[in-house]
Structure 1
Amino acid sequence: MTSALARPGATPRRIAYLGTPEVAVPTLRAIHAAGFEIPIVVSRPDRRRGRGGALSPSPVKAAALELGLEVTDDLAALVRHDVDLAVVVAYGRIIPTALLEHIPMVNLHFSLLPRWRGAAPVERALLAGDTHTGVCLMAVAEGLDTGDVYATATTDIAGDDTLETLRSRLVAAGTDLVLQALREGFGEPRPQVGEPITATKIDPAELELDWTAPAQQLSRLVRLGGARTTFRGRLLKVWAARVVHRQDLAPGHLDGVVVGTGDGALELVEVQVEGRGRVAAADWRNGVRPTDEDRLGR
C-alpha cells in the first residue's frame, strides 16, 4: 500500500509537532523558521523541578510559547486542528491508534532501526561501543519504533564522542531529514530490515565504575555522563577520562590520576566529589593525597 505521504504532490504545509525534552527543540525551531505553519504543539504536562518544586514547562513547551505557538498537553486536541501531518520527536508517550488513523505521523528516531528501538538509543549505541549510528525518519506505527522508514542519515561514533556531542550531531542530521522531506516529499517508506534490539533506559546502577572491567568499557561509561565510583567511602563522579596504555596498576589502584583497570588504565581528567563542584582531577588528587592503601571503588 502506498503511503499517503508518498503520493505525488504530497508536500504538507500545516504541521502539528509533538515533543518534550531539549533534544526535540531544534527541530521545532527549524520547522518554524522554514515557514511551515504549526497550528498546534503537543508536549508532556508541566513537571515540578528544582529544589523549590515549582511547576515548569517542558523545553518544547517553553520554546513553543516563545515562538508564539499554541501548545497543549492534550493529545486529543490534535483532531480539532486542520493539519496535514504530525512530526514526533522524543514525545515520550505511545500515540493511540485512533489518532494514527486520523492524522499521518512521522517520527524522528535517533538510531539506525531496527537496532536500538526504545527510549535510550543514543546512550545504548555509545555504551555498546558501536562504531556508527544514525537517525531515521519513520512512519509512526502501533508498535514501539516499528514503523517503515522514509529516510536515514549515518554518523561515525568517534573515540572521544560524549553523549552530548553525539546527540547534538544526530539532532542536526535528523532536523535536516525532516526539512528535506517536508520540502521535497517523503517518498515511499521501506520496511525495517535486521534484528531488532531494544534500547532500554539506563539504570543508575549501570553507571557504577567496576575497575576490573576493560578500560575502553569504562571510558564509554564516563563519556555517557554521570559515571561514579567511591573514594574513602564517599561518592566520586568521573566526568572526563582517557584510556592510557599501562599494565602495571591493579584495578582501582592509583598512580597520580591514573587508575588501574581490568586490562590497562584510565587517566582521570575531571571529577566531582559528593556535595561539591567539578574540578580537574589533578586538583582533586593534590587535595586528597592518596596513599598506597587507597583504592577507587571502596
Structure 2
Amino acid sequence: MHKTNKIDEEALNAIRQSNADKAVIVAYGAMIPQAALSALPWWNLHFSVLPEWRGATPLQHSMMHDTGIGISVFELDSGLDTGPLISQLPLSFLENETAGEALIRFAENGSNLLIRALEENPEPMIQKGSSSLAPKITRLDAKINFEENAADLIRFIRAANPEPMAWAIQNGEPIRIIFASATTSSLDSGKLRGVGEIYKSDDNEIMVQCGDKSSLRLELVQPAGKRETVATDWWNGLKGTAKFD
C-alpha cells in the first residue's frame, strides 16, 4: 500500500518498483496521470452503477435522483469514470438513510466486491447504457427550493448530509436542515398555504409547505451560529408566522 495525495514522480517510481499486478484506488478525487495508467492496470471502486453518475459525488446524486444506486469496480482509462467494468452490485438505500450513513455501508459492500473481483479477475466489459454526471455538490447547490415536491426534497436533504448540508433562508438568516422526513399526519389540508410556509400540523409536527401541494416534516435543524436542535424546540422559539424564503 502506498499513501499519497498526489501521484508525482516519487509516487510513480514507488508504483513501478512495487511489482504489483494492479493498483486499486477508492475515492481518490483526481484524475490519474497517463504515465501512471501506463505503468499497470488501475482498478477503482465507484459508488454508483456505472455509467450512471460519473464524477465526484455519485452516491449523493444516486440518492437525490433515486437511480443508478449501487457500486462498481472498473478499470481506469483516460476518461472520467469511463473505463471497462470489472464487477457491479446494485444496492438500495435504507429508509431515512443519509449519504454519510450509506457511504459506510456501501464501502463495506464495495470492499467485499473488490476482493472477490481481485480473486476471480473477470474479463472487463464495456460500459453500456445512458450515462449521467455527478459533479461536486457545492454549498450554493445545497440551497433548498421549496417549489419542488416534498419527496424529492427529502432525498435531496438526505443526500446533502453530512456535506455540504442542505439549507434555507428564514427571516433573513441561513438555517441548516439536518433531517426531514415524510409524514403520515392528518394534515389540515383545507387551508391554503404558500410554498415555504412553516406550520404545526394537527398532530403537532413541524411541517413545510412544498410544491405540488406536498409537505415535509422537519426533524432536525441548525440555525446560524447555534447548535442543531429538534424542529419542535426551534419552532417554539419563533414568534408569529414563519416562512422559508
The counterpart of 2:235, out of the listed 267, 285, 289, is: 285
Which residue of 1 is the match for residue 92 of structure 2?
156
Q: Distance in 2 between matches of 1:179 and 1:189?
A: 16
Q: Is the 8 A contact 1:42 1:73 kept in 2?
A: no
Contact 1:42 1:74 survives alignment (8 Å): no
Q: Residue 260 of structure 1 corresponds to which residue in structure 2?
A: 209
Which of 42, 48, 57 in structure 2 is aligned with 1:120? 57
How far apart, in 1, do the equivalents of 2:8 and 2:222 lie? 39
Moved >4 Å (runs of 4+): 71-74
3-state DSSP class of the match of 1:122? helix
**Structure 1 residue 158: Cα displacement:** 3.8
Given that 1:44 and 1:92 are in contact with CA atoms closer than 8 Å, whether structure 2 keeps it comes out as: no
SS at match of 1:288: coil
Higher helix share: 1
Q: Which amino acid aligns with 2:194?
A: A
- 1:229 corresponds to which residue? 168
Q: Residue 205 of structure 1 aligns with which residue?
A: 140
- Structure 1 residue 288, shift from structure 2 partner: 2.2
**Residue in structure 1 matched with residue 75 of structure 2 by the alignment:** 139
Give the secondary structure class of the aligned counterpart of 1:167: helix
Q: Which residue of structure 2 lines up, in the alignment, with residue 55 of structure 1?
A: none
Give the TM-score normalised by the residue count of structure 1: 0.71
For residue 22 of structure 2, the aligned residue among 85, 103, 106 is 85
Which residue identity does 2:36 align to in structure 1? L
Q: How do 1:1-298 residues align onto structure 2 when only pairs under 5 Å count?
A: 38=1, 41-44=2-5, 74-76=10-12, 77-130=14-67, 133-182=69-118, 184-224=119-159, 225=161, 226-244=165-183, 246=187, 247=189, 248=191, 249-256=193-200, 257-262=206-211, 263-289=213-239, 291-292=240-241, 294-297=242-245
AA at the equivalent of 1:179: I
Aligned length: 229
Task: Give 1:81 shift.
Answer: 2.5
Provide Cα deviations, 1:85-138, integer angstroms capped at 9, x if missing partner.
2101111221122222221211111111111111110111111132x5111111
In the TM superposition, what is the alpha-carbon distance from 1:238 to its structure 2 partner? Answer: 0.7
Give the root-mean-square deviation of aligned CA atoms. 2.1
CA distance in 2, matches of 1:264, 1:113: 32
Structure 1 spans left out of the alignment, 5+ residues? 1-37, 46-70
Q: Which has the higher strand share?
A: 1
Give CA-to-partner distance per residue, 1:191-225, whole Å, 9 cap, x none.
11101211111132221112221111211121122
Calculate the TM-score normalised by the size of structure 2: 0.86
How far apart, in 2, do the equivalents of 1:172 and 1:74 lie? 31
- How far apart are 1:190 and its partner, in Å? 1.0
Q: CA deviation at 1:170?
A: 1.5
SS in 2 for 1:88: strand
What does residue 66 of structure 1 align with?
none
**Do the aligned residues in 2 keep the contact of 1:43 with 1:91 (CA within 8 Å)?**
no
What is the identity, as a one-letter code, of the residue corresponding to 1:206? D
Q: Which amino acid aligns with 1:279?
A: T
Unaligned runs of 5+ in 2: 201-205
Superimposed CA distance per residue, residues 150-203 of structure 1 (whole angstroms, 9 cap, x where no aligned partner):
111111234422112222221111100111123x32121111110121111113
User: SS in structure 1 opposite 2:141?
Assistant: helix
Q: Percent identity?
A: 28
Equivalents in 2 of 1:241, 1:157: separation in Å? 16
